[in-house]
Amino acid sequence: MASYRIPKDMSTELKINKWMYLTDFLLLIGLIPFTMVMSNLVHGNLIWGFYGFMVLVALLLVIRPTSNPKRRIYQAVYYAIMRRKDTYTAIDYSPVEEADETERSDS
């Protein structure tokens, strides 16, 4: 009977290589048909510039920002667009790590 490994965490992303995750790969694959469809709307003299722009957009969408490494830039843009504009959201400017260090030094 074959032994199967049971994953301990179901929310872990699948990693393809050192820096590419499955969701990043699928996003890049999805941008290819979008680029091909949209290239029909671009003038022939500007097509190579459009392809360069789309490559730049694709790379920027999958980069993980250093300020929030658990989210990608496209997720941050989505949250910024979809958030409710009529509610106030407080921003905590003091990092949690500094608060933990001051508590340890006081005791």
Our CA dihedral for 57, 58, 59, 61, rounded to 10 degrees, sits at 80
Q: Model-level pTM?
A: 0.60
pLDDT number for residue 38: 94
- Supply the range of the domain harboring residue 57: 13-84
Dihedral pair phi/psi, residue 72, rounded to 5°: -100, 170
For residue 102, tell me if it sits in a domain.
Answer: no
Residues 6+ apart with CB under 8 A from 31: 54, 57, 58, 61
For residue 48, tell me if it sits in a domain.
Answer: yes
Integer angstrom CA distances of residue 100 from 76, 82, 84, 95: 27, 33, 32, 9
For residue 75, tell me if it sits in a domain.
Answer: yes
Find which of 41-55, 61-75, 88-102 is predicted with most confidence, using mean pLDDT: 41-55
**Looking at the 3D structure of the chain, how many domains does it have?**
1
For residue 26, tell me if it sits in a domain.
Answer: yes
- Checking if the pLDDT of 40 tops 70, the result is yes
